[in-house]
């Protein structure tokens, strides 16, 4: 029997994903009708981007699951009409991209590369950085991405602490949780990496009070979600030198408006949401595997917990 898969996203994404999805579905043995135009009562699965025009899931009475193209689900998880399983994107390409971005910028700040580049004025400044073993990196969020980044940094010798809402046990990472654990992580974070999902509990997590817990020369990296940080509180804290720098890849409004003070602030580096991009070829395999599982009555992968919001 043919499986009807509705691709509910914009035209550009359809052009990117159409062929990889058809190939991936064929490789897992699913006879699929993949289209952007399938009558709602006949749809078996929805491949979804939160920017889609599809906002009312009520007519999709036969749909077995909604398969999100992105890791973040904050723009869909609270939709009251969505009563079928929702899977987020956990993709090897996305994970690898995040590890590369985080590792690159941690090393950039650890080695003081910005200072060396800015001060090429003919003066020999012999100021070697500490070894990685003498530098603490704290990661807020120990999901798939946070754990992968923590393991990569620990492999380079960094002292890695990780914080999560619930207890975790990850070799080579000091795992913290709860309010006391968050305070401990922030107080020791010479480099802080934000990789938490965006929920009601994590919105504005890095407010003035928590920013004040950081060591004076700390650096913040945010490749997670823009609203994890209170923008005004961060700008005020940067002006006081605590933290010393913020490298930001995600923002409340994207693209970041030209007039936003982050662009001109000397202690802010802006990157244009490039830390972890979903690659169609690898993401298509994740989606196809979940559809295969659904057709075989096997458990779906990467299901979202509606109560937690991720």
Q: Is 225 a catalytic residue?
A: yes
Q: Which residue out of 88, 135, 225, 285 is catalytically annotated?
A: 225
Q: Is the C-alpha dihedral spanning 248, 252, 256, 261 positive or negative?
A: negative
Which residues have a Cβ under 8 Å from the Cβ of 12 and sit 6 or more positions away?
A: none
Q: Which residue out of 273, 279, 302, 306 is catalytically annotated?
A: 273
- What are the strands, taking DSSP E only, across the chain? 3-8, 32-35, 45-48, 65-68, 86-87, 136-140, 159-164, 174-177, 191-194, 219-222, 245-248, 268-270
Contact between 17 and 32 (Cβ < 8 Å): no
φ and ψ at 154, to 5 degrees? -65, -35
Rounded CA gap, 72 and 201, in Å? 15
Q: How many CA atoms lie within 13 A of 191 on its CB side?
A: 25
Q: Is 108 a catalytic residue?
A: no
Contact between 248 and 222 (Cβ < 8 Å): yes
- What are the strands, taking DSSP E only, across 167-253? 174-177, 191-194, 219-222, 245-248
- Sheet of strand 191-194: strand arrangement: 174-177, 159-164, 136-140, 191-194, 219-222, 245-248, 268-270
Q: How many CA atoms lie within 13 A of 14 on its CB side?
A: 14
Annotated active-site positions, please? 225, 273
């Amino acid at each position: 029997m043919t499986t009807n898969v509705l691709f509910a996203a914009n035209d550009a994404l359809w052009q990117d994903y159409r062929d990889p999805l058809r190939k991936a579905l064929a490789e897992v043995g699913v006879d699929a009708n993949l289209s952007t135009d399938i009558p709602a009562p006949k749809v078996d699965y929805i491949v979804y981007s939160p920017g889609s025009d599809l906002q009312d899931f009520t007519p999709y009475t036969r749909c077995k699951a909604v398969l999100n193209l992105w890791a973040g689900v904050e723009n869909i998880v609270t939709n009251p009409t969505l009563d079928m399983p929702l899977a987020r994107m956990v993709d090897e390409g996305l994970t690898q991209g995040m590890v590369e971005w985080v590792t690159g910028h941690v090393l950039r700040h650890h080695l003081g590369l910005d200072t060396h580049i800015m001060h090429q004025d003919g003066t020999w400044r012999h100021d070697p950085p500490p070894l990685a073993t003498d530098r603490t990196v704290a990661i807020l969020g120990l999901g798939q991405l946070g754990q992968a980044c923590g393991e990569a940094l620990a492999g380079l010798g960094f002292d890695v602490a990780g914080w999560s809402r619930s207890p975790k046990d990850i070799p080579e990472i000091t795992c913290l949780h709860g309010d006391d654990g968050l305070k401990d992580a922030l107080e020791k974070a010479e480099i802080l990496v934000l990789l938490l999902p965006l929920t009601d509990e994590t919105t504005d997590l890095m407010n003035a009070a928590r920013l004040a817990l950081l060591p004076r020369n700390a650096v913040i990296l945010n490749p997670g979600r823009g609203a994890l940080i209170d923008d005004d509180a961060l700008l005020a804290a940067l002006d006081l030198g605590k933290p010393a720098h913020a490298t930001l890849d995600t923002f409340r409004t994207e693209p970041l408006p030209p007039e936003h003070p982050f662009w001109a602030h000397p202690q802010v580096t802006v990157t244009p949401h490039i830390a972890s991009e979903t690659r169609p070829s690898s993401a298509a395999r994740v989606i196809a595997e979940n559809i295969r599982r659904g057709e075989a009555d096997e458990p779906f992968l990467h299901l979202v917990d509606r109560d937690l919001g991720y």
